[in-house]
Structure formats: structure tokens, C-alpha cells
């Protein structure tokens, strides 16, 4: 009787078997896809954090290295604009855009680019902009020995002092931005000894590498908040196009765009 019952149920079991196998196969495929998605996310998260660091990461950096300036705490709608790799053939055009939008910036000077453009630096100072130190060459400052880095900083410091003297203006606080944005404990000690403060930033559109003005403008506009320090680059033709989008929009949102020194003054930060 038991065998007969089994035999009568066998056809229906065999009919259901393919569907069960298909369901198991689907579950395995879904599990595999989920695992691959998690692996991809784990690989992408560090890249996303580098391309567009979240606010909590910037706050951690500021707490971890308080002598390095990343952002300034303030509720006022104001941001500092910093422009690396100045001066260049594009600097006068950038200065014109800033003037049109009642904005000011801190230009970080590469010493090797100054010869023949001394007047450009003087004009920036006359127009109310600020000059910072970006060493002599476009290279990773962290790779330099103490003696070489100190010599480069002091050489650029003299070039900056000449620009202020030529413009009949007093030197502001002295800022240093390391090439490639990488610093070390050794560098921090050296820069402090020389009387400089390292300035990095909180909004970095990677415009030194990314040549798409609208993409870079989106990056800046989606990341700015009160007290932000925006890092852009001279010596690229697309920077002017990007600022032509960013500056009017910031103005429309009610933001003031100022130098690093002015942002520190507004934030009451020493």
C-alpha cells in the first residue's frame, strides 16, 4: 500500500521538481549578485571618499590635525576660495571673473611660474586678493627633504613679499599649501617653525585632473556650506569656465566668497 501511494505521487513530484530547481537557482543567482554588489560597494567607497569626502570625514581631519586648516566653523553664508598653481596665463581672466562677482580668493603661488608675471601678482594684491605659498615646483612637497623644502618655502616667501611691496600693501598671515595636498608630522613641524600655517580645504573638485567644467562646478556647488574652503587650480583653461558657473550661483544663494584670512576673521579663528 505504501509503495502504491508513493508511485501515485511520484508523477506530481517529478512535475514540481523543475520549478523547485529553478527557484533554488534563482536564489543562488540573487545571492551571488548581492555578494558582488557588496564587493563592488566596498571597492567604490574609498574612491567616493577621495573624490567627495563626506562632512564627517573633514570634521575628523580637523580634530585630528588642528594645526592644519580644512574648514572654519561659522553659520554665516561665507566660503573661502583658494586657487593653486598661480600665476599663469589664465590668472588675469580668473581675476576678472572674481571682480565681476564681487569675490576674492587666496592664490597659492608656485615660485617657478613667477618670472615674467611679477606684475600679475601685484595686481592680485591690489585687487584685494591674497597670496599663499605653494613651494617652487608642481611636485609632492612631502617627498622633499627638510632642507630643500625650507629653501623652496623661503624663496617663494620672498617673491610674495615683493608682490605686496610692489602693491604698497602689508603682508597678511603666511599660509602654505603642500604640493599634492599631502603633509607629514615632519613637514608640519617645519612649516610651523617657519611661521606658516598649512591650509588644505573641504571642497576639492579635482579640477587639476578633471577637465570638465560643468562636472567640477557641480562638485563645488553640491559641497559648499558655511565655512567651506574650496580648492581650485590656475593654469587650466577650464577653471575660468567652472568659476563662471560657480560664482554667480553662490552669489544667487547669498554666499560671500572671500580669502582665507577673511574667513578666519569672520569665524573668529586664530
User: Per-residue pLDDT tens for 26-40?
Assistant: 677 766 776 666 665
Which residues have a Cβ under 8 Å from the Cβ of 31 and sit 6 or more positions away? none
> Residues, the chain, total?
270
Q: Which of the residues 67, 84, 96, 219 is marked catalytic?
A: 84
* SS3 call for 72: coil
Mean pLDDT over 45-71 rounds to 82
pLDDT for the residue numbered 28: 74
Question: Has domain 55-267 been given CATH number 3.30.200.20?
Answer: no
Domain map of the chain by residue range? 1-51, 55-267
pLDDT for the residue numbered 8: 60
Residue 94 has pLDDT above 80, yes or no: yes
pLDDT for the residue numbered 39: 64
Residue 1 has pLDDT above 60, yes or no: no
Closest Cα to residue 247, out of 129, 43, 105? 105
Question: Picking from 21-30, 106-115, 130-139, 205-214, which range would have the lowest pLDDT averaged per residue?
Answer: 21-30
129 tagged catalytic: no
Residue 44 has pLDDT above 50, yes or no: no
% of the chain surpassing 70 pLDDT: 83
- Give dist(CA 149, CA 140) in Å, integer: 10
Which residues have a Cβ under 8 Å from the Cβ of 201 and sit 6 or more positions away? 70, 71, 82, 228, 229, 230, 231
Q: Which of the residues 104, 129, 134, 233 is marked catalytic?
A: 233
User: Per-residue pLDDT tens for 118-135?
Assistant: 999 999 999 999 999 999
pLDDT for the residue numbered 29: 72
134 tagged catalytic: no
Question: Picking from 100-104, 123-127, 226-230, 265-269, which range would have the lowest pLDDT averaged per residue?
Answer: 265-269
pLDDT for the residue numbered 55: 85
pLDDT for the residue numbered 43: 53
Residue 41 has pLDDT above 70, yes or no: no
Closest Cα to residue 260, out of 105, 85, 55, 123? 105
Mean pLDDT over 72-96 rounds to 98
Mean pLDDT over 233-237 rounds to 96
Which residues have a Cβ under 8 Å from the Cβ of 133 and sit 6 or more positions away? 108, 109, 153, 156, 157, 160, 174, 175, 176, 177, 196
User: Per-residue pLDDT tens for 146-191?
Assistant: 999 999 999 999 999 999 999 999 998 999 999 999 999 999 999 9
Amino acid at each position: 500500500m505504501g509503495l502504491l501511494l508513493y508511485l501515485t505521487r511520484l508523477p506530481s513530484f517529478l512535475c514540481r521538481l523543475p520549478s523547485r530547481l529553478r527557484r533554488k537557482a534563482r536564489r543562488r543567482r540573487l545571492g551571488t549578485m548581492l555578494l558582488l554588489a557588496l564587493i563592488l560597494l566596498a571597492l567604490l567607497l574609498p574612491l567616493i571618499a577621495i573624490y567627495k569626502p563626506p562632512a564627517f570625514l573633514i570634521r575628523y581631519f580637523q580634530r585630528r590635525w588642528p594645526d592644519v586648516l580644512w574648514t572654519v566653523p561659522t553659520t554665516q553664508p561665507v566660503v573661502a576660495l583658494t586657487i593653486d598653481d598661480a600665476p599663469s596665463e589664465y590668472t588675469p581672466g580668473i581675476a576678472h571673473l572674481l571682480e565681476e562677482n564681487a569675490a576674492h580668493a587666496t592664490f597659492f603661488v608656485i615660485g617657478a611660474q613667477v618670472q615674467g608675471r611679477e606684475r600679475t601678482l601685484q595686481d592680485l594684491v591690489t585687487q584685494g586678493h591674497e597670496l599663499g605659498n605653494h613651494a617652487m615646483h608642481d611636485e609632492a612637497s612631502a617627498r622633499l627633504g627638510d632642507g630643500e623644502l625650507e629653501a623652496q618655502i623661503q624663496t617663494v616667501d620672498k617673491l610674495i613679499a615683493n608682490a605686496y611691496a610692489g602693491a604698497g600693501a602689508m603682508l597678511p598671515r603666511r599660509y602654505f599649501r603642500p604640493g599634492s595636498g599631502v603633509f607629514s608630522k615632519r613637514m608640519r613641524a617645519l612649516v610651523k617653525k617657519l611661521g606658516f600655517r598649512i591650509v588644505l580645504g573641504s571642497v576639492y573638485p579635482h579640477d587639476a585632473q578633471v577637465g570638465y567644467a560643468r562636472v567640477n562646478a557641480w562638485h563645488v556647488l553640491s559641497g559648499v556650506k558655511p565655512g567651506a574652503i574650496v580648492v581650485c587650480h590656475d593654469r587650466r583653461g577650464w577653471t575660468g569656465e567652472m568659476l563662471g558657473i560657480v560664482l554667480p550661483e553662490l552669489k544667487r544663494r547669498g554666499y560671500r566668497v572671500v580669502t582665507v584670512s577673511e574667513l578666519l576673521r569672520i569665524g573668529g579663528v586664530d
